[in-house]
Structure 1
Amino acid sequence: MYPHIQTVESSPALPDETDVAVIGGGIIGVATAWALARTGVRVTLLEKGVIAGEQSSRNWGWCRTMGRDEREIPLAMASLARWPELAAALSEDIGFKRTGILYACRNEAELTQQREWLARARHYGVSSRLLDSAELARYMPGVDPGAFVGALYTPDDGRAEPDVVAPAMARSAMRLGATLLQQCAVRGLETRAGRVHAVVTERGRVRTQAVVLAGGAWSSLFCRHLGIRLPQLKVLGSVMRTAPMPGGPDAALGTSGFSFRKRADGGYTISHRGGSLAPIVPDSFRYLRDFLPMMRTSREEFRLRLDARLWQEAWHHRRWSDDGVSPFERERVLDPVPSARVLKEATRQIGEAVPFFRDLEITQRWGGLIDVTPDAVPVIDAIDTLPGFHLATGFSGHGFGTAPGAGQLMADLVTGNTPLVDPTPYRFSRFAEADPTP
């Protein structure tokens, strides 16, 4: 497990009733609870393990607008604008800095791809611009001048510390009146007159008229228990960090083969951009038709892998009753083993392209399971077939950076306030509208 997550003390007791119950204590669930609590809504956050125990503390820590799917750009822009407000409101140092992020291109084809993205994104007001190889060397001293032909650079993008942000938001939400329970899995929902009436937890039931499922990689399984089909798969990301390395680059950089960003402790978080592994599990077959288009266009980004996860999830997929032990209690925290091969490849490539990283002292390696949708765009929506039930999931590795906006948008939809951004691109019904090719 990622060992540096700040601890959060749970509330003393489960309430009998709440206005909104949020399932999942990752960054999206916490951001939603925080946004609701700020408006005076009685909100109860329920987490089966610990706050930020899974991908929310294991991601790269990038806060970016650059390279987003065009449907995500408004949400990313709104989130980037809210990060400074969030940092000030929490009264804790979450490490947010606008240091800039670069996508370095190894050839003209990659540079053309970034140029085309910029042409589509420019009217949203992004600060991105293209750099040639000489400009890249000025912004990123120490880069091998022959390794890249140019880059896409976004000076407004930045970074924050994943192991700090969600716990800090959770503590702030509690100060605002939110109730927070850890080691308290939600087993199911009760309905009355066709709408949500209560959540059933391992510690008892809580009456509520509104539920937000922000369960990350667990969301599809929970939805299936309710008879709702949510096409979603898990992808393994492998990450490592170094000891403090004085004098290194402040901006973050990603390219085919590796990525890095400076940490608040002076070390670097390093990963393999494009080195994600997709474990073959029962859902791989259940949602094969949904994911075929992604598999055809993203073969270099997602590599299939057969491992023990297949048997673990086969066990999870058995039905359970709301008064019995659920899969969420059998496996409190997803803590996958990182891929040594992927990290070795990233270490080699970063040393070749950026000599500063040639002699790395790696102090830790970890893995995280990312919740991915067929179009890699999240679901932030109310579910019409079950009034009172809402989804905020499927962020496909983008949840940390977009959390300030996503949490506010979900809170707006629950309360009926004017949405922060147009929620249409994140509608749940788009999966039913799609027609995957067999």
Structure 2
Amino acid sequence: MKAIILGGGLMGTATAFFLARRGHRVTLIERRQIGAGATVASFGNIRRSGRYLPQMPLANRSLALWNRLARMLNQDVEFRATGHLRLIFDSHGLEKMRQFRADAMDWGLTLQELDPGDIRRRFPGLGPEAIAASFSPQDGSANPRLIAAAFARAAVQNGAALVERASVERISETAQGFHVATPNQTYSGDVLVNCAGGWGPDIARVFGEEVPCRLAGPQMAVTEPLPHRIHPVVGVWARDHGAYLRQVERGNVVFGGAVARSKPDRNGFARVDAAGLRTQLQAVVRLVPALRGVAVIRQWSGCEGYISDMLPVIGPSATTPGLFHAFGFCGHGFQLGPGVGDAMAELISTGDCVTPLAPFHISRFAA
């Protein structure tokens, strides 16, 4: 089987790797550079708490792969199971966490509930005003700047072909399969996999499938290197755009959240709102007061597709045999990436998938 994958982010490169590993001929086409879109702008969170519960089997499948990726890809992508701590500052957050905790047990996730004494004892200096917290010890983070390139490199080692800086000019379907025309060449395949992120709806539309989606970008920043004292990924159970942060091994603290998502320009570049940094820092200091007064050395954003129901589109096309979709991850796809690639390869190869994907099928927008 010959497969064409459109989009060289985490979803596309992971799918390319797992398909090539199964012995299929794969061509991955990326309009810019591998991993240079939403993936590289990601926070790098490996988080299961707070997810849409029917997504949990996919998240669990992905977590198992994160634990094996260094060996599978022959590269350290800096996955660290440091745990994920979500602080709670009000009764609404506590109620929300406890309900999720109770519901998630049936989906294979066990959350520890911590009281203020537990927080001070286990995570001194974090959330001194918090009334409670949840902790997921098996979760953590990885490096968004390494992961797509690592998957792409491993895919090539398994026989895949990568085509970078190639915009798609035309997509067509014939009795012989799919044809994708770029400025320099036309590629043909039996299967077409749409992993084009925020531009995924444009590809779906070619085949008569409409997906309500908008482009937006999270606003991220990083501090100067500091003594390493923040072990887990830190977030918050909140009504609004809660802040989140993690400290990388080099000592820098990466943080995001607390402000509205930026609006990309017509070329797909999302620019940060410098005025929002003050709001972000106020939220971050509430999580870690010791960060007050540190220097912020860089801000960035990236273009992501946000679907109207805040769930991705994953699975086969509803109109076109041989077409598959995996796009629109709404800012929470990083953790899912390896699992999505593996599940898509299984689905494309066998026609079925042991991990339930029905809640993410594109047919939910048919009406």
* TM-score of Structure 1 vs Structure 2, range by shorter chain: over 0.9
Mapping of residues 315-394 of structure 1, within 5 Å: 331=267, 334-394=268-328
Q: Tell me how far apart the structure 2 counterparts of residues 187 and 226 of structure 1 sit (CA, whole Å).
A: 15
Spell out, residue by residue over 1:108-156, the C-alpha distance to the aligned partner (whole angstroms, 9 max, x if none). Answer: 11110011111111112213121112212223211352x2111111011
**In the alignment, is residue 213 of structure 1 matched against residue 194 of structure 2?**
yes
**In the alignment, is residue 264 of structure 1 matched against residue 245 of structure 2?**
no
Q: Tell me how far apart the structure 1 counterparts of residues 127 and 212 of structure 2 sit (CA, whole Å).
A: 42
Which range is displaced more, 382-391 or 46-55?
A: 382-391
- Secondary structure of 1:59's aligned partner: coil
Contact 1:25/1:47 (8 A) holds in 2: yes
Deviation, structure 1 residue 264: 3.4
Please name the residue that 2:104 is paired with.
Answer: 121
**In the alignment, is residue 26 of structure 1 matched against residue 16 of structure 2?**
no
Please name the residue that 1:397 is paired with.
Answer: 331
1:237 aligned to 218, 221, 227, which one? Answer: 218
Deviation, structure 1 residue 366: 0.2
Q: Tell me how far apart the structure 2 counterparts of residues 144 and 177 of structure 1 sit (CA, whole Å).
A: 49
Q: Tell me how far apart the structure 2 counterparts of residues 101 and 405 of structure 1 sit (CA, whole Å).
A: 19
Please name the residue that 2:145 is paired with.
Answer: 163
Q: Tell me how far apart the structure 2 counterparts of residues 167 and 199 of structure 1 sit (CA, whole Å).
A: 23
Q: Tell me how far apart the structure 2 counterparts of residues 133 and 196 of structure 1 sit (CA, whole Å).
A: 60
Q: Tell me how far apart the structure 2 counterparts of residues 64 and 144 of structure 1 sit (CA, whole Å).
A: 19
Mapping of residues 38-437 of structure 1, within 5 Å: 38-145=21-128, 147-193=129-175, 196-255=177-236, 256=238, 257-273=242-258, 275-277=259-261, 279=263, 309=265, 312=266, 331=267, 334-416=268-350, 418-432=352-366
Q: Tell me how far apart the structure 1 counterparts of residues 104 and 225 of structure 2 sit (CA, whole Å).
A: 36
Deviation, structure 1 residue 201: 1.7
Please name the residue that 1:10 is paired with.
Answer: none
Contact 1:142/1:355 (8 A) holds in 2: yes
TM-score, length basis structure 1: 0.79
Structure 2 alignment gaps of length 5 or more? none
Deviation, structure 1 residue 418: 4.4
Q: Tell me how far apart the structure 2 counterparts of residues 276 and 31 of structure 1 sit (CA, whole Å).
A: 29
Structure 1 alignment gaps of length 5 or more? 1-17, 280-307, 313-330, 434-438
Spell out, residue by residue over 1:238-286, the C-alpha distance to the aligned partner (whole angstroms, 9 max, x if none). Answer: 000112211321101112442101223221111124x23264xxxxxxx
Q: Given residue 191 of structure 1, which amino acid in structure 2 is its aligned partner? A: E
Q: Tell me how far apart the structure 2 counterparts of residues 119 and 375 of structure 1 sit (CA, whole Å).
A: 23
Please name the residue that 1:299 is paired with.
Answer: none
- Cα gap change, 1:238 to 1:278, in 2 (>3 Å): closer
Q: Tell me how far apart the structure 2 counterparts of residues 353 and 22 of structure 1 sit (CA, whole Å).
A: 41
Q: Tell me how far apart the structure 2 counterparts of residues 44 and 347 of structure 1 sit (CA, whole Å).
A: 43
Deviation, structure 1 residue 373: 1.5
Deviation, structure 1 residue 190: 1.8
- Secondary structure of 1:198's aligned partner: strand
How big is the alpha-carbon RMSD for the aligned residues of Structure 1 and Structure 2? Answer: 1.8
- Secondary structure of 2:169's aligned partner: strand
Q: Tell me how far apart the structure 1 counterparts of residues 32 and 9 of structure 2 sit (CA, whole Å).
A: 10
Q: Given residue 220 of structure 1, which amino acid in structure 2 is its aligned partner? A: P
Q: Given residue 212 of structure 1, which amino acid in structure 2 is its aligned partner? A: V
Q: Tell me how far apart the structure 2 counterparts of residues 248 and 406 of structure 1 sit (CA, whole Å).
A: 33
Deviation, structure 1 residue 82: 1.0
- Secondary structure of 1:400's aligned partner: coil
Deviation, structure 1 residue 215: 0.4
- Cα gap change, 1:278 to 1:246, in 2 (>3 Å): closer
Q: Given residue 203 of structure 1, which amino acid in structure 2 is its aligned partner? A: N
> What percent of counterpart residues are identical?
30
- Secondary structure of 1:156's aligned partner: coil
Contact 2:222/2:299 (8 A) holds in 1: yes
Contact 1:101/1:153 (8 A) holds in 2: yes
- Cα gap change, 1:106 to 1:222, in 2 (>3 Å): same
